Amino acid sequence: MRKNSISIIVMLLWSIHSIFAQTKEITGKVTDAKDGTPIVGATVKAKGFNTSTATGQDGNFKISVDNKAQSLEISYIGFNRLVVQVTGKPIAVQLQQSDKSLTEVVVVGYGKALKKDVTGSISRLGSKDVENFPAPSFESSIQGKAPGVVVSSGSGKLGQAIQINIRGISSISASSQPLYVIDGLPATTGSMSDGTNDATNPLADINPNDIESVEILKDASSAAIYGARAANGVVLITTKKGKEGKKTILSLDLSHGISNPARKLSFLNAKQYVGLLEQSKINDATYDIANNVSGFATYADALDFYKNDPYSGYQRVLDQFSLGTDWKNGAVNSDWQKALFHKDAPTNQVNLSATGGNDKTRFFISGFYNTQDAIVINNKFSRYGTRFNIDHNASDKLIFGLNLAVNRSQLDRITNDDAFSTPGQLVAQLPISPFIDPSTGLPNKQTLYPSGIYDALYDFDKQVTFRTLGNAYANYKILPSLSFQTELGADILNLSQIAFAGKESQDGAGIGKGSTVITQSVSLNTNNYFTYSPTINDNNKLNVVAGMSYLQNNNEHTYAQGEKYPSDAVKNLAGATSITGASTTQDKYTFLSYFLRANYTLFGKFLFSVSDRIDGSSRFGPTSKYGNFPAVSAGWILSDENFLKNSNTLSFLKLRASYGLTGNSEIGEQQFRSLYSVANYPGLPGFTPTQLANPNLKWEKSKQTDIGLNFGFFKNRITGELDYYKKHTSDLLLNTNIPLTTGYATIYQNAGTLDNSGVEFAITSRNVDGRNFKWTTSFNIAYNKNKVGDINGQVIESNDGLQRAVQGYAVGSFYMQKFMGVDKQTGDALYLGKDGKNTSDYTLAVRQVVGKYTPNYTGGFTNTFSYKGLDLSAFFYFLTGNNIYNAAGRFMSDGFYNGFDNQTTDILKGWTKPGDITNVPRTGYNFGSGASNSSRWLYKGDYLRLKNVTFGYSLPKSLIAALNISSARFYVSGNNLLTFTKYPGDPEVNTNVVNNIAGGEDFYTIPQAKTFTFGLNIKF
């Protein structure tokens, strides 16, 4: 009611004003030219005057204008602006829907631009693409939508970091992740939780439903305005702004989903397991006799030994782990893989927002609450928060506003893939092991490896993050053509993590262990810039942006760990009677930047842009603190030329080219200095040298050329774009190995080069665009070739040594012994030897590049149909040319050589006797073959996945009107419904999330979720 009284006052004031100004009253109605439906909230303005109003519920308007007013200007988002003459009679206005391709606006660094005029390469996603997606973080929804942007969300665990590579991996030792800028504020994206577990994702603190658009700046010309931080591309996230309108629009989104694993591996059942053990015992005995290893007199003696020996015998495994159950007759047949999954894991999302305002003040407010259970046990993510975005016109000249989001998220974690206690490793347990110990009636703890189910009863790891993201701005129009914008933003992240392993669990080691981590990361950022856009004439348009920005991040990290708990009663560190470690560390970095950009348009069709940014950073030494990052680009809208203007087929064609320099400095702090760290030998506080100085350390540079075109056919029914790019990265910030005899292992040096080149293509066709039936098809595909240049012979490899950067190959090539099959006479695994011949001696096999984890082609294919209130869309994602290595193969598919782990079913095809033709070597705990890392477990990683199918129904207008709401839509959607791949497990896994060199490795990694969601969106 208060609002009403305000409007009454406003109206009163207006009427007083009109009395003095001699006004006339004009009425009219605004409708959609297409179907005659009234347009609600269209702006009606007296041309040349400050008077304006908005159309009401029925499209009608009434406006009092100055007597001198000649015409009215009517505008509405998505429609062409129309100017009508004032005649004195009621005016019927029919607005034409605008051609989106001409008016579409994209957010660029420090400003906005018409997509038509953009000379760089930018992919844009709207709110529809990112909202209501059944994943914690919005990046997942980019996958397959933006060509050249490869999104890998390592596993089906929740809250994990997500790796995004824009136009290939452009660094080896520095980060290859893009810069994320939220409403002008560079966001904290690095993992803040404890370093012993997987990296987590601070971007999950952003409510995807608050996002208006995501712009991905891919080429140098669009990204170079972010200079030294832009070599990996820039992701601009713009949150929803308040929209002026007579009515405040309330929007409610509700959804509920259930998730299950998208794909599983196939493991042996109890009968198969016992059978395979039996066969392996025979294999060992046969091998021993044949090669006279132990000198057994008879085959029977050998067989007896391998059956009953306490170390090498098979019998004890079955007796010990069946816990007295009758394994001979299959009394127990446990599917341990099933036990690691949380069946029908629920997801619930509630999102409520309100947007509205008038010509003075506009707001967007939202609140949300999500809970999500992972498909794996003990892993949960929940969050709630609110956002408040406001813009206020203080005067004709001054606008200020605030974007503020406050969130809390909680992640209940499981241990990393390498821990015995992680549920993913339950697959190693034996199918003859019962879930419940018959003697105690409790979960079985006498399993081959410590049971993750058992640990799950006693252990937890809970991290809570409070996140405040706020950015205030003021924009002052100094002259009509010159404005000054100042922004001050803060990204405050507080994380506290408590982990506990009870005495009973394996990780608790019988004494109980606990730890706590508290991290506070505070980024302060200010942007201050002038925008100069003089009106010269219609043929010459100029837009200049010049300014500076300063960013400071302080990160304070405190951790403590303790052990020896009296019981599980007190689970935080207050219960630990022995503190085994505690520390506080502080890190800080700063960036000071100056930037300039000028866009010039000649005759509306020749587009030029130059930009430059100078960045200074605390990350480099005094001689090389500053870097300079220029870029140029040009475009030509051919379709505006006379020779194409009248073409019926071609409606839009723009050629563009750009070239520029961007930088990378993401190597962490203080890498250029000599450092001594504190050593804590008991009683003797000391120093140890930890880092050698390289005072000349400087930015890593990427030079990128981009040539592209945007096209539209048949009145832009078919639109698309094509880009070719070449990115050459030099002065790589390489963490080079130096001889350990120096006392140091590595030193950061600017050495080596890396190349990425590729092609991106995207096309959208409105196949059918009828009044009732619509059908749109979108397709995009990107090709990238990544090649390591001269890196001075440096060997830079992953921690597990299975992947490395090798000159002439892609970063992250799999580098290992090449498996050549099985010797059909002996059953030995064969490898490619140094002499080019096959060898069964693993130590003589030569390590070589056998594959890579980065794809050649990635893309997406979407079909959207709508008929009256029904809508249906289907989205496929594909990726080819990559490999996946099952790093757990040497335990789960090794034929028992490395332990008695349950095996995948392909091992049933193992070699048993001379003449057998198979690809699975001889099994056996003692004399099995082929159990070391090799390309034996390297698979083609190509896949095609039906990522999403959504079916929606919107209530008809008659019903909506009766219910007194604006719109209502029900939908059901499915994610990861179908997968086509040659990889035996889930192809979308990566145990080393966010790493340039290590990728595409499966190590008991949790597969992606297949999710069904039921949802409802109502607008009031």
Q: Tell me which residues in 927-966 interact with other proteins (CB under 8 A).
A: 932
Closer by beta carbon to other proteins, 473 or else 900: 900
| Count of CB atoms situated within 10 Å of the CB of 772 | 10
Closer by beta carbon to other proteins, 56 or else 616: 616
- Is 689 a residue that touches other proteins (CB under 8 A)? yes
Closer by beta carbon to other proteins, 37 or else 585: 585
- Answer for the pair 941, 987: CB distance below 8 angstroms, yes or no: yes
DSSP 414-477: ---TTSTTSGGGGGGS-TTS-SB-TTTSSBP--SSS--HHHHHHH-EEEEEEEEEEEEEEEEEE
Q: Amino acid identity of 142?
A: I
Nearest distance in Å: CB 515, other proteins:
13
Residue 587 phi, psi (nearest 5): -130, 150
Q: Which residue is associated with the tokens 């030509």? A: 636
Here the tokens at position 137 are 């973080």
Closer by beta carbon to other proteins, 574 or else 740: 740
Among 7, 70, 742, 772, interactor with other proteins by CB under 8 A: 742
Selection from 474, 448, 573, 599 nearest residue 517 by Cα: 573
- Answer for the pair 65, 46: CB distance below 8 angstroms, yes or no: yes
Q: Restricting to residues 662-681, name those near other proteins by CB under 8 A.
A: 669-670, 673-681
Q: Restricting to residues 892-921, name those near other proteins by CB under 8 A.
A: 898-900
Q: Restricting to residues 795-814, name those near other proteins by CB under 8 A.
A: 795, 801
Residue 66 phi, psi (nearest 5): -60, 145
Residue 298 phi, psi (nearest 5): -130, 165
- Answer for the pair 729, 702: CB distance below 8 angstroms, yes or no: yes
Among 24, 81, 625, 715, interactor with other proteins by CB under 8 A: 625
- Answer for the pair 216, 230: CB distance below 8 angstroms, yes or no: no
Q: Restricting to residues 165-194, name those near other proteins by CB under 8 A.
A: none
Nearest distance in Å: CB 683, other proteins:
4
- Is 325 a residue that touches other proteins (CB under 8 A)? no
Among 269, 737, 777, 863, interactor with other proteins by CB under 8 A: 737
Nearest distance in Å: CB 528, other proteins:
6
Q: Which residues contact 292 (CB under 8 A, 6 or more apart)?
A: none
Among 321, 341, 761, 875, interactor with other proteins by CB under 8 A: 321
Of the ranges 197-205, 293-301, 587-595, 651-659, which one interacts with other proteins (CB under 8 A)? 587-595
Closer by beta carbon to other proteins, 111 or else 450: 450
Closer by beta carbon to other proteins, 386 or else 528: 528
Q: Restricting to residues 426-465, name those near other proteins by CB under 8 A.
A: 447-450
- Is 741 a residue that touches other proteins (CB under 8 A)? yes
Closer by beta carbon to other proteins, 15 or else 577: 577
Measured CA distances, 225 to 110, 164, 174, 189, 614 (Å): 8, 20, 20, 20, 9
- Answer for the pair 706, 121: CB distance below 8 angstroms, yes or no: yes
Among 296, 299, 384, 594, interactor with other proteins by CB under 8 A: 594
Closer by beta carbon to other proteins, 727 or else 890: 890
How many residues bind other proteins (CB under 8 A)? The answer is: 85
Number of helices (H), then strands (E), belonging to the chain: the values are 12, 53
Of the ranges 490-498, 744-752, 774-782, 820-828, which one interacts with other proteins (CB under 8 A)? 744-752
Of the ranges 612-620, 706-714, 725-733, 960-968, which one interacts with other proteins (CB under 8 A)? 612-620
Closer by beta carbon to other proteins, 786 or else 932: 932
Q: Which phi-psi region, left, alpha or beta, contains residue 789 (left: φ > 0; alpha: ψ -120 to 50)?
A: beta
Closer by beta carbon to other proteins, 526 or else 658: 526
Closer by beta carbon to other proteins, 138 or else 287: 287
Nearest distance in Å: CB 697, other proteins:
12
Closer by beta carbon to other proteins, 384 or else 484: 484
Of the ranges 175-183, 331-339, 599-607, 733-741, which one interacts with other proteins (CB under 8 A)? 733-741
Pairing of strands 71-75, 43-46: antiparallel
Measure the CA–CA gap between 495 and 482, rounded to whole angstroms.
42
- Is 694 a residue that touches other proteins (CB under 8 A)? yes
Of the ranges 186-194, 370-378, 682-690, 719-727, which one interacts with other proteins (CB under 8 A)? 682-690
Of the ranges 75-83, 151-159, 198-206, 585-593, which one interacts with other proteins (CB under 8 A)? 585-593
Burial of 622: CB neighbours in 10 Å, binned 0-12, 13-18, 19+: exposed
Here the tokens at position 858 are 């990635």
Nearest distance in Å: CB 816, other proteins:
10
- Is 311 a residue that touches other proteins (CB under 8 A)? yes
- Is 578 a residue that touches other proteins (CB under 8 A)? yes
Q: How far is CA 300 from the centre of its chain?
A: 59
DSSP 460-514: EEEEEEEEEEEEEEEEEEEETTEEEEEEEEEEEEEEEEEEEE-TTSTTTTTT-EE
Closer by beta carbon to other proteins, 43 or else 803: 803
Q: Which residues contact 835 (CB under 8 A, 6 or more apart)?
A: none
Closer by beta carbon to other proteins, 588 or else 868: 588
| Count of CB atoms situated within 10 Å of the CB of 1010 | 21
Q: Restricting to residues 502-541, name those near other proteins by CB under 8 A.
A: 506, 508-511, 526, 528
- Is 638 a residue that touches other proteins (CB under 8 A)? no
As a residue count, the chain comes to 1020
- Answer for the pair 554, 588: CB distance below 8 angstroms, yes or no: yes
- Answer for the pair 214, 125: CB distance below 8 angstroms, yes or no: yes
Measure the CA–CA gap between 875 and 857, rounded to whole angstroms.
17
Here the tokens at position 210 are 């608050």
- Is 36 a residue that touches other proteins (CB under 8 A)? no
Closer by beta carbon to other proteins, 247 or else 673: 673
Closer by beta carbon to other proteins, 533 or else 776: 533
Binding track over 751-790 against other proteins, x by CB under 8 A? ----------------------------------------
Measure the CA–CA gap between 173 and 996, rounded to whole angstroms.
7
Measure the CA–CA gap between 591 and 523, rounded to whole angstroms.
11
Closer by beta carbon to other proteins, 82 or else 747: 747
Nearest distance in Å: CB 542, other proteins:
20
Nearest distance in Å: CB 933, other proteins:
9
- Is 692 a residue that touches other proteins (CB under 8 A)? yes
Among 369, 484, 608, 809, interactor with other proteins by CB under 8 A: 484
- Is 550 a residue that touches other proteins (CB under 8 A)? yes
- Is 310 a residue that touches other proteins (CB under 8 A)? yes
Rg (CA), the chain: 32
Q: Restricting to residues 393-432, name those near other proteins by CB under 8 A.
A: 420
Q: Restricting to residues 552-571, name those near other proteins by CB under 8 A.
A: 552
Among 36, 295, 441, 682, interactor with other proteins by CB under 8 A: 682
- Answer for the pair 477, 485: CB distance below 8 angstroms, yes or no: no
Residue 331 phi, psi (nearest 5): -60, -35
- Is 747 a residue that touches other proteins (CB under 8 A)? yes
CB half-sphere exposure, 59, CA atoms < 13 A: 16
Nearest distance in Å: CB 911, other proteins:
21
Measure the CA–CA gap between 212 and 479, rounded to whole angstroms.
30
- Is 592 a residue that touches other proteins (CB under 8 A)? yes
